[in-house]
Chains A and B, each alone.
Chain A
Amino acid sequence: DAKTTQPNSMESNEEEPVHLPCNHSTISGTDYIHWYRQLPSQGPEYVIHGLTSNVNNRMASLAIAEDRKSSTLILHRATLRDAAVYYCILKVPAGANNLFFGTGTRLTVIP
């Protein structure tokens, strides 16, 4: 699986938007971009995924650059519950289900 690069940590004020970046310059044309997060003392949780177009769901939005070499996870209004480690992962289509987690970005939400 292609590698991703994320900042180690970020901070955000509560109720403000958060933009979490991810670089994946070696992404292939068919790799999907997945985001998971892990809250303290819990297993990882699926957030969102996309291929080329921007995606929205109830949790977040995913903005994918036109060249697909980077993407941004957007939390529209950060809450204290969003404090977690966020992982950006590339998945090969029709590949095995295993996810290769990097070090992720630790998001701190300040009340």
Chain B
Amino acid sequence: KAGVTQTPRYLIKTRGQQVTLSCSPISGHRSVSWYQQTPGQGLQFLFEYFSETQRNKGNFPGRFSGRQFSNSRSEMNVSTLELGDSALYLCASSLGPSGATYEQYFGPGTRLTVT
């Protein structure tokens, strides 16, 4: 079974631009979560989607948004990029929405650099 794939792997953008990152979950997985990882803040939860609905959202500004398609693929968008948005963005997929017993499988991440 193919793992979680994320595209692109690396991205360089300029302040003020917007960016869209893509995540394809493991086949059969219907839950997709997004995380931001920075050296200063560590791994932080952005949002989770299940069956095209956002189930939970972390403490990030409205510039960060996402969506999930009927095939469970997900995208996240960051508008009006700031220097502080430079980070590794990780996507994780899971069989179902219940977090207690389902493990999450992470992709390799998209390294975003904002200049």
Residues of A within 8 A of B (CB): 30, 32, 34, 36, 42-46, 49, 87, 91-103
The answer to whether B94 has its CB under 8 Å from any CB of chain A is yes
Q: How big is the B interface, by class?
A: 20 to 34
Residues of B within 8 A of A (CB): 4, 31, 33, 35, 42-45, 48, 50, 55-56, 58, 90, 92, 94, 97-109
Q: Which residues of B contact A102 (CB under 8 A)?
A: 42
Q: How many residue-residue contacts, CB under 8 A, span A and B?
A: 76
Q: Name the residue of chain A whose CB is nearest to the CB of B91.
A: A43
A93 to B103, CA, bound (A): 12
Minimal beta-carbon separation of B76 from chain A (angstroms): 14
Q: Is the CB–CB distance between B45 and A91 below 8 Å? A: no
Q: Which residues of B contact A101 (CB under 8 A)?
A: 35, 42-44
Q: Is the CB–CB distance between B100 and A92 below 8 Å? A: yes
Q: Which residues of B contact A34 (CB under 8 A)?
A: 103
Given contacts A43-B90, A44-B43, A46-B104, whether A99 and B109 have CB atoms under 8 Å apart is: no
Partner of A97 from B33, B43, B108 at Cβ < 8 Å = B33
Q: Is the CB–CB distance between B103 and A46 below 8 Å? A: yes
Interface of A is mostly: loop
Q: Is the CB–CB distance between A49 and B103 below 8 Å? A: yes
A94 to B55, CA, bound (A): 12
The 13 listed contacts between A and B (C-beta, < 8 Å) are: A32-B101, A44-B92, A45-B106, A49-B101, A49-B103, A87-B43, A91-B100, A93-B100, A94-B98, A96-B56, A98-B33, A98-B99, A101-B43
Q: Which of B58, B97, B98 has the most CB of A within 10 A?
A: B98
Q: Is the CB–CB distance between A97 and B55 below 8 Å? A: yes
Q: Which residues of A contact B33 (CB under 8 A)?
A: 97-99
A96 to B31, CA, bound (A): 10
Partner of A91 from B35, B99, B106, B109 at Cβ < 8 Å = B99
